[in-house]
C-alpha cells in the first residue's frame, strides 16, 4: 500500500471499498464480493485508467488439479475455485459496464 501512496501515477485508491454482487455456485445465493483494491492511474499521455485489483497467490488463480482420490482438501479447493471464479466473472462484468479493467495480481506481479 506504500507503493500506492507514493507512486506518482496513482491518482486515487482504496481497499475493499467496492462491493460487487455475485451468485455463489455453492449455495446458489447472491453474496457480496469486496475486491482488494480500487485504483485510478494516469498514464504517460495523461489519460486516467481505473482498475479493480484482486491479490491472490498464483496457485489460487487456476483450477485445482484433480487427484487420484477426492480428498476433503481437494473438494475444499474446488469449492474455493468455484466461488473465486464467480466473484471474478462478476467483477469483470462490473468493470466492463464502467469502462474499467479487472486484474488479478499474484506474487509474480508484485515482486514477492
Mean pLDDT of the chain: 94
Inter-CA distances, 99 with 6, 74, 92, 109, Å = 25, 36, 10, 23
Binned at pLDDT 50, 70 and 90, residue 61 comes out as very high
Q: What is the pLDDT of residue 107?
A: 87
Backbone angles phi, psi at 64, to 5 degrees: -70, 150
Binned at pLDDT 50, 70 and 90, residue 111 comes out as low
Quote the DSSP letter at residue 53. E
Binned at pLDDT 50, 70 and 90, residue 68 comes out as confident
Percent of the chain with pLDDT over 70: 98
Binned at pLDDT 50, 70 and 90, residue 75 comes out as very high
Q: Are 84 and 62 in contact (CB under 8 A)?
A: no
Q: Where are the domains of the chain?
A: 2-110
- Is 92's pLDDT higher than 70? yes
When pLDDT is averaged across residues 104-112 and rounded to a whole number, the result is 80
Residues 21, 38: Cα–Cα separation, whole Å: 16
Query: pTM for the complete prediction?
Result: 0.88
Residues 83, 26: Cα–Cα separation, whole Å: 7
Q: CA nearest 10: which of 49, 42, 54?
A: 42
Residues 9, 3: Cα–Cα separation, whole Å: 10
Amino acid at each position: 500500500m506504500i507503493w500506492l501512496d507514493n507512486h506518482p501515477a496513482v491518482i486515487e485508491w482504496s481497499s475493499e471499498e467496492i462491493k460487487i454482487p455475485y451468485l455463489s455456485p455453492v449455495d446458489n445465493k447472491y453474496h457480496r464480493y469486496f475486491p482488494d483494491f480500487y485504483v485510478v492511474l494516469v498514464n504517460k499521455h495523461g489519460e486516467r485508467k481505473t482498475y479493480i485489483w484482486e491479490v491472490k497467490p498464483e496457485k489460487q488463480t487456476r483450477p485445482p488439479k484433480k487427484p487420484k482420490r477426492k480428498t476433503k482438501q481437494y473438494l475444499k479447493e474446488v469449492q474455493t475455485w468455484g466461488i473465486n471464479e464467480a466473484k471474478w466473472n462478476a467483477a469483470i462484468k462490473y468493470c466492463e459496464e464502467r469502462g474499467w479493467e479487472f486484474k488479478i495480481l499474484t506474487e509474480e506481479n508484485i515482486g514477492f
